Chains A and B, each alone.
Chain A
């Protein structure tokens, strides 16, 4: 039962353009959503998060949008840079259990 899904396994974007990574979830009890960036053979690095009571959070080039009615969130990276190439995971936090549930990841490739 995959409660957090990232339906696009990969995405290729040209440098300078916008990257949009999507994530869907099924559990309405999640209270926080987080995005992580991960390189092979390394642990995830936190990027940005959003509370379930918000619909947008922005930090520099990264913006996360949350649509609670659609149970959908997205990460926008603009402008995209080659150094952004990595696997991006969305994760959802369950307050009562205090744990994270990860999506399946999207591999972003930013080309020159």
Chain B
């Protein structure tokens, strides 16, 4: 199936731990994104990569570090997890970054920090 797939779907971990979320797209898109959906349901951009180059880096704690080994993958590593990091994280991709292309979203990773 052509899609944006992210793993794991659920992640429960203790405060202070380090965890990673992986994302892969097989759509041939050039641009990938990480979004955070908080308890109020707003999705907010965290990072965007275009052809493995970081193009958007919002005000995100530096405990969050994205890595794009190739344009089909964008992983998110989080160090020293805090309670406030609990949210649903969505990966997305689009054909490009500069024109109104449609975005394809993954199904989300629900992160719970206890």
Q: A and B bound?
A: no
